[in-house]
């Protein structure tokens, strides 16, 4: 059984009030793993608060002439357990390519930091019937360079991110099962596949109940602790045999 995982992607926002409280909704529970992804400047505060903490991106190289970047090795030394790889905002705004993202995931595995790899098609790609081709290319590039190392995937259709429009449960299950089918035997059943894109308490139950959905990557609603708390509670009740 895969334990549900809820990840808070705070993007370029400060941690919400109370994130470090004893009863913060951003702490892992018995039934749900919770990980926060703050900006680089807030990593230390989250680690000090004893939250499971990951970085929103990193550079695959160990060190060197990469102005503005931070290496996985540095993040590991700081105490980060996870790193997001290839969020669509990184792909769009910073031109991150499948190959760069795969190199980052491979480096993270080597360094003992868990990569959370984001994949997903744009609206045009879905409307022109290419959604599976795009996701296949993204997943296969990662799988080819990580040789059955431990992976977490987040399926985030770009058209669902920050738009208030979710993928339907049917679209979500179909794509999650497809992603799982692309994984090597050695990791297929144990790899968590999260859904991301406008998750709210209202839609969480229908999504988390799906066979191949193991939790969520939550953006906007993770900045509202009350909403986030409800999402974590719903995930806790959605454990599947
Ligand atoms: P959203 O963001 O929940 O605001 O759509 C999700 C994400 O970008 O990871």
Q: What is the pLDDT along the chain (241 residues), one digit of tens a residue?
A: 789 999 999 999 999 999 999 999 999 999 999 999 999 999 999 999 999 999 999 999 989 999 999 999 999 999 999 999 999 999 999 999 999 999 999 999 999 999 999 999 999 999 999 999 999 999 999 999 998 899 999 999 999 999 999 889 999 999 999 999 999 999 999 999 999 999 999 999 999 999 999 999 999 999 999 999 999 999 999 877 6
Q: What is the pLDDT of residue 240?
A: 74
156 Cβ below 6 A of ligand 1: yes
pLDDT value of position 20: 98
Nearest C-alpha neighbor of 51 from the set 212, 194, 232, 213: 232
- pLDDT for the residue numbered 241: 64
Q: Are 105 and 72 in contact (CB under 8 A)?
A: no
Region for residue 149 given its phi and psi (left: phi exceeds 0; alpha: psi -120 to 50; beta: otherwise): beta
Q: What is the largest CA-CA distance in the chain?
A: 48
Residue 160 CA to ligand 1 center (angstroms) comes to 8
Catalytic status, residue 87: yes
Sole residue written with tokens 């529970």 = 29
Please tell me the pTM assigned to this model.
0.97
Q: Tell me how far CA of residue 44 lies from CA of 39, 52, 69, 73, 224, in angstroms.
A: 10, 11, 17, 15, 21
Q: Does 157 contact ligand 1 (Cβ within 6 A)?
A: no
Closest ligand 1 atom number to CA of residue 217: 9
pLDDT of residue 239: 76
- Looking at 59, 87, 96, 227, which residue is catalytic? 87
In the annotation, is 156 catalytic? Answer: yes
- For atom 7 of ligand 1, the residue with the nearest CA is 219
Q: What does residue 25 show for φ and ψ, rounded to 5 degrees?
A: -70, -5
Task: Name the helix (H) or strand (E) containing 105.
Answer: helix 98-111
């Amino acid at each position: 059984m895969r334990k549900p995982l809820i990840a808070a992607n705070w993007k370029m926002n400060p941690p919400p009030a109370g994130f470090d409280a004893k009863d913060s909704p951003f702490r892992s529970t018995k039934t749900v793993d919770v990980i926060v992804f703050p900006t680089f400047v807030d990593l230390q505060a989250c680690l000090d608060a004893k939250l499971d903490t990951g970085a929103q991106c990193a550079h695959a190289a160990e060190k060197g002439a990469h102005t503005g970047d931070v290496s996985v090795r540095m993040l590991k030394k700081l105490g980060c357990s996870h790193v997001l790889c290839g969020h669509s905002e990184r792909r769009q705004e910073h031109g991150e390519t499948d190959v760069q993202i795969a190199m980052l995931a491979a480096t993270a595995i080597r360094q003992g930091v868990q990569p959370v790899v984001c994949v997903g098609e744009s609206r045009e790609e879905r409307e022109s019937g290419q959604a599976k081709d795009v996701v296949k290319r993204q997943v296969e590039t990662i799988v080819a360079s990580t040789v059955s190392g431990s992976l977490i995937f987040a399926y985030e259709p770009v058209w669902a991110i920050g738009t208030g429009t979710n993928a339907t449960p049917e679209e979500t299950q179909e794509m999650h099962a497809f992603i799982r089918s692309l994984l090597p035997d050695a990791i297929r059943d144990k790899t968590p596949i999260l859904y991301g894109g406008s998750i709210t308490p209202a839609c969480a139950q229908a999504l988390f109940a799906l066979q191949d959905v193991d939790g969520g990557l939550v953006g906007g609603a993770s900045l509202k602790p009350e909403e986030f708390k409800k999402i974590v509670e719903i995930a806790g009740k959605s454990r599947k045999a």
